[in-house]
Amino acid sequence: MAKIDIKVYKDLMGENEKWAAKTRELLRENDVYMLNIIGSPGCGKTALLENSVRRLEGKLRFAVLEGDVETTRDAERLSALDVTVYQLISGGACHLEAKLVHHALRDLDLDNLDVVIVENVGNLVCPAEFDIGEHGKIAVLSVTEGEDKPIKYPLLFSKAIAVILTKTDLLPHLNFDIDACEDYIRQVNAGMPVLRVAAVTGEGMDRWIAGLVERNFAKRI
């Protein structure tokens, strides 16, 4: 009888899910709330966090895990504002893996933190597929990207607990239908809270900050 080679394909997400579960337990034990911010390169994620640091001083104890393929540039921007920030380098991967996030969390002084914000690698697709143990994903979409992105890349918008539309101060100079964009978002996720924000001017930041302080976006915004 001829020998038969059988290829067995195991769940590639399995290892990631194990580390995500460990992270959830770690966060629960320390009563820390963690959000996973996901958006394209240049959509304004870091600018949003810079404005947040200034507004949260004295209101919330938090740290940032800054994800990028290479360099520490974004972490340096935030560190200059005197916030605890660790740079996570994906080494070419299009997303942060749960194991990397877990080890970074263990290096933080969780006893003295309320919230950890993870800024994932700039990408609308890959990071949405990977659970890192967060309490929720926040989708960030710039008004410079086109209003149809939520229906072109629906996975992130279906999983997120809120969407932040950034750079709204540029709307007078763009051909961007913000109402149509929100309609597309709700075609994917009917109950999705949408925040219109301009991090440079501070417009619309209050709802985002309130959600962080309350540590419950589903209820607050």
- Over residues 34-89, the pLDDT tens digits come to 999 999 999 999 999 999 999 998 899 999 999 999 999 999 999 999 899 999 99
**How many domains is the chain partitioned into structurally?**
1
Q: What percent of the chain has pLDDT over 90?
A: 86
In a domain, residue 125? The reply is yes
Instruction: Please tell me which residue, 50 or 12, carries the higher pLDDT value.
Output: 50
In a domain, residue 77? The reply is yes
Instruction: Please tell me which residue, 184 or 12, carries the higher pLDDT value.
Output: 184
Q: What percent of the chain has pLDDT over 70?
A: 92
Say whether pLDDT at 218 is over 50: yes
Phi and psi, residue 65, nearest 5°: -105, 110
One-letter-per-residue 3-state SS of 183-218: HHHHHHCCCCCEEECECCCCECHHHHHHHHHHCCHH
In a domain, residue 38? The reply is yes
Name the nearest CA neighbour of 117 among 185, 50, 202. 50
The alpha-carbon radius of gyration of the chain (Å, integer) is 18
Enclosing domain of residue 151: 14-213
In a domain, residue 2? The reply is no
Predicted structure pTM score? 0.91
In a domain, residue 39? The reply is yes
Q: How far apart are CA 69 and CA 90, in angstroms?
A: 5
- Over residues 157-208, the pLDDT tens digits come to 999 999 999 999 999 999 999 999 999 999 999 989 999 999 999 999 999 9
Which pLDDT does position 147 carry in this prediction? 96
CATH code where residue 87 lies: 3.40.50.300
In a domain, residue 179? The reply is yes
Say whether pLDDT at 14 is over 70: yes
Mean pLDDT of the region 138-167: 97
